[in-house]
Structures are given as structure tokens and as C-alpha cells.
Amino acid sequence: MAKIDLSNISHSYNPNDPNPVYALNPFSMTWENGNRYAILGPSGCGKTTMLNIVSGLVRPSAGKILFDDKDVTDLKTEERNIAQVFQFPVIYNTMTVFENLAFPLKCRDFSNAKIDERVNSVAETLNLKSFLNSPARKLTADQKQLISLGRGLVREDVAAVLMDEPLTVIDPDLKFRLRRNLKEINEQYKTTLVYVTHDQNEAMTFADNIIVMSEGEVVQTGSPKELFERPNTTFVGYFIGSPAMNLFESEVTSENSVKINNLTIKTNTDLSNLKNKNIKLGIRSEFIKIANDQKENLVEVNVQKVEDFGNYKLITASMDNFEIKSKVNREIEIPGEKIKLHIPAEKCCIYENDKLI
């Protein structure tokens, strides 16, 4: 396993053009040894380019890649000692499951005893033990994807396992189990796992740290809790969470308050230095509750609809020309068509020009 440093990396697919277009704008970050990372963002944001730069399939236009402080920027993929799992399973159909898993070790002249030990250990972890003597072509799509993953895990010296949307071909019912398997593998083998996805649910349930990307920019890195509670930009607030973060055009009225239409909301943010241009208040629907005995930050709204999702209810309401969403316990009775909602000051995020204050 390895610590991976990406130092001042950027990349353009037309670097010699007078006005090159960058698939990745300059950034630096470190992936610590043994952690789980997800690279999250919409199609075309630069996720796969970042992964391919780490693997060696793409050389960055600028910057360096270091594995345990060793510069590998100019090394070929096969010299970087990484394993890759692609969107579609890559297996040898003419081989058995055992032969597929053993192949990387045979290529490196491991002894038969060591091959047997490693293959059986990984097969046990991936629930493939009973299929070891079966032809790989007869397995299901998810089992074939496990073989792809297993070929990386049998090598104890692998620097990292890089996965590019590996669950796309998997039946939705099996995705949760496979993500759980990946987490167990990480805990057992202390393997650095890097997982590319456009699905926020996959990222939030898999990774210790999430890298959110938009249009070639790394817009925020952090734990699922950090991304959810304190999005750095309105894009992250919109992209993470279901429903998206409530965002309201606002006007600063005091050092810690904003006004939405005629409604004044107190926050815990120092707003005294704001220029009062393009100000938005953001708050998650999970933090907005039906008012009981609160005395401030109350908003009276008209209930538009109430959706029951089994474990919670989602209230969609309106006041004047803005819409507000609130998640509440499904056992709570909605009092009527007009209700009061409480917006807690400590959960409010204030954005200037779409960036968190």
C-alpha cells in the first residue's frame, strides 16, 4: 500500500492549442495509506481523468504524482504497482475463477503454496470460495466484477486499488452488499481504495473521504458529514443530499442576520464584512422542523404536498415566491394547510457568490 501525493496536477487534452481547455484545473491533495476515497461528480467533470493520471494511463500536463514520496509521474502503468477495476468486468473467460485470481501472482513467479494461500484468502473474503473451480464465463455480472477486484487484492504489495464506476453493471439489489464487501476488504487488508462514481449514495456509503468535482475543479474534499452539513459551495449543497439543500436569495440586514423577502433569519455567521452581493442562505431539509415553542427564525408557510417515504415525511411548502422543503418523522401529524417551520440559526450556511462564508 502507498501514500499517494498529487502535487499541482493539471491536465489538458489540447495543451498545444493557443487556448487550451483543461479537463483538470490545478490542484494538490494526498491520499493516505489504507483509506477509502470516492471521486464524485457529474459526467464530464474530470473524475476518470484524475484516476487515469494516478494509474499512468494519462500523463498530466503539469505536476507530479508521488507514491510514498517516490516520483512516478513518468512511470508506465505496469511499473506503478496498482490494480484497476473498470466499469465492466475484465476477466479471462477461458479460465476458472481460481486461475483468474491466481494470474497476477503466476506472472510474478510466486510459489504454488503462496498462490494457494492468497487466492483462498481473497476468495473467502469475496464469497467466491465455492466457485473457484467453475469457469469464469458462467458466473453472474456481479461475481465477475468481484473477480476483477480479487485480482488486485491477491497482491499484498499493491499500492492502491483504483475503481472506475465498478458497480454500474451490478443489479441494484446487490450494490449494497458489494459496497459492504469493499469496506470489509479495506479494513482487513488496509488497502488504499479509490472509487469513481457519479452516484452520491455510493460515495456517501462507501468512502471515508469524498472528493467532489465540477467542470474540472476539485470543489470540496471531506467526510460525508462535512459535505452534508457544511457544503463549501452551492453546487455541493445541490449535488449532495436528497432532496438538495434549500437555497434562498437573501439580503444582509445585520452582522448575523439576513432577510428573505420580508422574513428575517438569524444565523451564527459573522456577516459584517459581506459586500451584500449574490448572497444565499442554505439549510438542509433535515434541520427544518415544525415549530413548537421556538421564539425566533419562524416561518409561516402554505403546505403544498406531503410525501411519505416510509422512514420520514417530506413536506414541500411555500411562502410568497419561494419554496421550502422539510424532512420530519413520519409519525408526526401535519397540523393543517398552514404551518410554522423553525430554521435553526446554527444550521444555516451563508454563501457569497455561491461560496461558503
Q: Which of 181, 199, 234 is the last residue of a domain?
A: 234
Which of 68, 96, 82, 58 minimizes the C-alpha distance to 2?
68
Residues 155 and 285 in one domain: no
- The reply to whether 321 and 276 lie within a common domain is yes
Q: What CATH number is given to the structural domain containing 106?
A: 3.40.50.300
Looking at the fold, whether 346 and 252 belong to one and the same domain comes out as yes
State which H helix or E strand residue 186 sits in. Answer: helix 172-189
Does residue 34 sit within a domain?
Answer: yes
Q: What's the pLDDT tens digit per position in 9-45? A: 999 999 888 888 999 999 999 999 999 999 999 999 9
* Cα 343 to chain centroid, rounded: 27
243 preceded by a cis bond (ω within 30 of 0): yes
* Phi, psi (rounded to 5 degrees) for 224: -55, -40
Q: Which residues contact 137 (CB under 8 A, 6 or more apart)?
A: 93, 94
Judged by average pLDDT, the poorest of 32-46, 161-175, 201-215, 271-285 is 161-175
Residues 215-248 have pLDDT tens digits of 999 999 999 999 999 999 999 999 999 999 999 9
Q: How confident is the model at residue 169 (pLDDT cuts 50, 70, 90)?
A: low
Distance CA 287, CA 328 (A): 9
User: Across the chain, what does the average pLDDT equal?
Assistant: 92
Same domain, 223 and 249: no
d(CA 29, CA 34): 15
Coil, helix or strand at residue 280: strand
- The answer as to whether 207 is a domain residue is yes
For 322, phi then psi, to 5°, come to -125, 155
The confidence score (pLDDT) of residue 8 equals 97
Helix (H, G, I), strand (E, B) or coil at 222: strand
Instruction: State whether 274 and 315 are in the same domain.
Output: yes
Are 166 and 290 within one domain? no
Task: With respect to residue 240, please indicate whether it lies within any of the assigned structural domains.
Answer: no
Q: Does 239 map to a domain? A: no
**Shared domain check, 313 and 191:** no
8: left (phi over 0), alpha (psi -120 to 50) or beta: left
Using the 3D structure, point to which of 234, 254, 289 is the last residue of a domain: 234
Phi–psi pair at 149, nearest 5 degrees: -65, -45
Closest C-alpha among 223, 239, 320 to residue 282: 239
Pair 214, 278 in one domain: no
Of 325, 301, 306, 329, the C-alpha closest to 245 is 325
The answer to whether residues 88 and 225 belong to one domain is yes
> Do 230 and 264 lie in a common domain?
no
Count of residues making up the chain: 357
Same domain, residue pair 187 and 333? no
Q: What is the mean pLDDT of residues 260-272?
A: 94
Residues 9 and 153 in one domain: yes
Q: Of the residues 234, 258, 289, which one is the last residue of a structural domain? A: 234
What percent of the chain is predicted at pLDDT more than 70?
Answer: 100
Sequence letter at residue 253? T
| Set of cell numbers at residue 25 | 484545473
Residue 276 confidence (pLDDT) above 80: no
User: pLDDT tens for residues 197-217?
Assistant: 999 988 998 999 999 999 999
Q: How far, in Å, CA of 104 to CA of 112, rounded?
A: 13
Going by their DSSP bridges, the two strands 289-290 and 209-214 should be labelled as unpaired
305 within domain boundaries: yes
Helix, coil or strand: residue 127: coil
Within 10 angstroms of residue 211's Cβ, the number of other Cβ atoms is 23
CATH of the domain at 315: 2.40.50.140
**What is the count of structural domains for the chain?**
2
- Which structural domain, as residue segments, surrounds residue 294? 245-356
DSSP one-letter string for 68-126 = TTEE-TTS-GGGTT-EEE-SS----TTSBHHHHHHHHHHHTT--HHHHHHHHHHHHHHT
Q: Is residue 39 part of a domain?
A: yes
Inside any domain, residue 174:
yes
Angle at 355 between CA 350 and CA 356, to 5 degrees: 40
Which pLDDT value is given to residue 112? 95
Q: What is the mean pLDDT of residues 55-83?
A: 94
The DSSP code for 162 is: E
Instruction: Please indicate, yes or no, if residue 257 is contained in any of the structural domains.
Output: yes
What's the gap between Cα 355 and its chain centre? Answer: 20
